[in-house]
Structure 1
Amino acid sequence: MAFKVLLTDYEFENLKYEEEVFAESGIDIEFIKAQCKTEDEVIEQAKYADAILNQYAPVSRRVIESLEHTKIISRYGVGVNTIDLNAAKEKGITVANVPDYGMEEVSNHALALLLAWARKVTILNNEVKKGNWDFKASVPIHRFNEQTVGVLGLGRIPRRFIEKVKPLGFKTAAYDPFVSEEDMAAAGVQKMELDEIIRESDFLSVHVPLIDETYHLINEERLNQMKQNAVIINTARGPIIDEKALAHALENNIIAGAALDVTENEPISLDSPLLKMDNVIITPHSAWYSEEAMIELRQKAAKNIVHVLSGEKTPYALT
């Protein structure tokens, strides 16, 4: 009897990479494609699934408790905030992600946002298009070696980001309660506590996962602690930053700017005050993207399922 693999939802034009992985696996797989939006739709579709491939549809505790045959839930991407990990662990279901597919892309995007702000490229571009040919629109700009780039989190992506930042001359620091001072020193990064890095960073790049402890980690209190010239960069998850507090801080010159690839709600509401601010750069959750990264993501997410259905352990198992 064929294993039933449910794809809860997807936004790809075709599913050829997933289908190739399953076809080459040597396992008899029935690949069921759905476009679920709600818990009820996932419950209905996943009733007999041996494996679930997930993009954005909610795989909540209620969904997981309804599963009768599922051995693995594999998610496209690094974050697994669509899936209740505790419920899956209690039920003995493997949850896996693809943590390394976009390491180059996201670190490059964070670097691009940093450089665009450090040299005020977007501000100058907008001024020239308005007819203002004057470098003073960018005042002040400081030398890189006079500034500190701080990162929140020191996983794969921020480590790669720092490797790219350091040759430019920036001083670097990191906050990660799970990484030792010795490990950070080996990476050439100064370890700081959260309040310290908030106060000391000229550019603060967010790379922590979205969990209960990091929801609104950057809030009004912490924004008020930042330097007035500070810029916050977020290529992680939108809800890590309290957007209302961020808009207030930007409107009142508490900090200098923001560069966001993610927002609290996506797509961002067209009436968001952030869209009207010249000191904000926003890109549409595109940091992960390159053609090569997209293919790697889809293949590895499908291979997670093949490993488990073959009786093996996937190297990307989280539970």
Structure 2
Amino acid sequence: MSKPKVYVTDFEFPNLQYEENVILPIDAELIGVQCKTEEDIIEKCKDAVGLINQYAPISRKVMEALPNLKVVARYGVGVNTIDLPAATDLGIIAANVPDYCMDEVSDHAMALILACARKVVLMNNEVKKGNWDYKVSIPLYRVRGKNLGLLSFGRIAQALAKKALAFGMNLLVFDPYVPESVAKEYGAKLVSLEELLKEADFISVHSPLTPETEHMISTKEFAMMKKSAFIINTGRGPVIDEEALKQALGEGLIAGAGLDVLEIEPPAAENPLLKMDNVVINPHVAWYSVEAEAELRTKTARNVAEVLQGYFPKYLVNKDVKVKLQLKEQ
């Protein structure tokens, strides 16, 4: 009898050692492939019992074409690559890793806030061009006492809140799913989106990407912001309407941006954001540390292993699927 096959649909790692350390001991086979399209997955993973997924689209079409599929586990917090209603309809488990990089992303968001506030990148570039003159940074304003607006208030934003308080910042939170009592626990004030946009000196985006949050920050929202405000995004690129952001920056409606994510990654060489001195751009790296990568890959593989061993995974996303499956609780 052949071993159950677990495919990694796509990955950017040099090897799959962490995944192998979890999957091979349960007497399953791990196969790494590189798929970009639905057709790629259907062709290369047709006998999959489990999928480990990064960016490849796990659509209804894909899942219907893989008759043995039991579980799809995604590297990361977001599950926007997986058609969740289809997975539930088909009795397929979807899983993620919601708790692996809270320190890394919140640290990175704080780093981008400080880089924007202190114009660190601009001055570094000027010095390397031979211009030793602090006046290129004028004006700079102190961070203490400034308002930090947090769009969404999940684990990462809460971790950032603690760090921002240490810098003496005031915290504003917009999250329709969080009660006021939770915001108060972190010394934050729960406000409307409009109030946050008008009052914040820095806005840090942590919203998941959903139909409701796509282009949540667009032309109307930028018009409400202070001209001295900066927007920081370590969440999902499409939450910010990039064309509206370019216009707002070009017209001086806001002071600048710190972006770890974009609508299209990597950006085109002619993207004007790459040429703006008041924009800091990183290559979707906020999640990364040596420790976080090991944790992410191990926990993602463990989600698959738990299902193959007859258990609901610890990080089950589509909980409605439970009624269709005869698996044990852990």
**Which ranges of structure 2 fall in alignment gaps of 5 or more residues?**
319-330
Give the direction of change, closer, same or farther, for the CA distance of 1:140–1:313 in structure 2 (3 Å limit): same
1:45 aligns with 2:44: yes
Secondary structure of 1:300 counterpart: helix
SS at match of 2:257: strand
1:161 corresponds to 2:164: no
Task: Write the distance in 2 (CA, Å) between the matches of 1:141 and 1:9.
Answer: 44
CA contact (8 A) 2:227 2:255 kept: yes
Q: Match for residue 12 of structure 1?
A: 13
1:148 is displaced (CA, Å) by 0.4
Q: Secondary structure at the match of 2:144?
A: helix
Could you tell me which residue of structure 1 aligns to residue 145 of structure 2? 146
- Greater shift, 94-103 or 115-124, is seen at 115-124
The residue type equivalent to 2:185 in the other structure is A
Give the match for residue 100 of structure 1: 99
Offset at 1:142? 2.1
**Aligned-residue offset at 1:168:** 0.7
- Deviation, structure 1 residue 181: 0.6
Q: CA deviation at 1:141?
A: 2.0
Note if contact 2:23-2:29 (Cα within 8 Å) is conserved in structure 1.
Answer: no
| Aligned residue number for residue 254 of structure 1 | 253
- 1:9 deviation in Å? 1.1
Separation in 1, partners of 2:186, 2:257:
26
Give the equivalent residue in structure 2 for 1:83.
Answer: 82
Structure 1 residue 126: deviation in Å?
2.6
Superposed CA deviations along residues 272-314 of structure 1, whole A, max 9, x for unmatched, are 0000100000000111111111111110000000111111111
Structure 2 residue 102 is matched with structure 1 residue 110: no
1:47: how far off? 2.3
Aligned match of 2:285: 286
Q: Residue 144 of structure 1: CA displacement? A: 2.1
Aligned residue for 2:48, secondary structure, equals coil
Provide TM-score, normalisation by structure 1. Answer: 0.96
Instruction: Point out the more displaced range, 120-129 or 224-233.
Output: 120-129
Aligned to 1:145, what secondary structure does the other structure show? coil
Provide the aligned length of Structure 1 versus Structure 2: 317
| Residue 311 (structure 2) pairs with residue 299 (structure 1) | no
SS for the counterpart of 2:23 is: helix
Q: Distance in 2 between matches of 1:223 and 1:214?
A: 15
Q: State how far apart, in whole Å, the 2-side matches of 1:200 and 1:65 are.
A: 48
* 8 Å CA contact 2:24, 2:30 repeated in 1: no
SS of residue in 2 equivalent to 1:80: coil
Q: Which amino acid aligns with 1:5?
A: V
Partner of 1:3: 4
Partner of residue 270, structure 1 = 269
**Distance in 2 between the 1:224 and 1:97 partners?**
36
CA deviations on 1:211-232 (whole Å, 9 max, x unpaired) are 1111111111111111000100
For 2:271 and 2:27, locate their aligned partners in 1 and report how far apart those are by CA, in whole Å.
Answer: 49
Stretch of structure 1 that moved more, 119-128 or 309-318: 119-128
Gaps of 5+ in 1: none
CA RMSD of aligned residues (A): 1.2
SS at match of 1:53: strand
Secondary structure (helix, strand or coil) at the match of 2:254 reads coil
TM-score (ref. length: structure 2): 0.93
Q: What's the counterpart of residue 183 of structure 2?
A: 184
2:125 and 2:14 map into 1 onto residues whose CA distance is: 35
Shift of 1:12: 1.0
- What's the CA shift string for 1:72-115, capped at 9, x where partnerless? 10011111111111111111111001111111111111111011
Report the Cα distance in structure 1 between the residues aligned to 2:121 and 2:10, rounded to whole angstroms.
36
Mapped to 2, the partners of 1:75 and 1:108 lie a distance apart of 23
- DSSP 3-state at the match of 1:212: coil
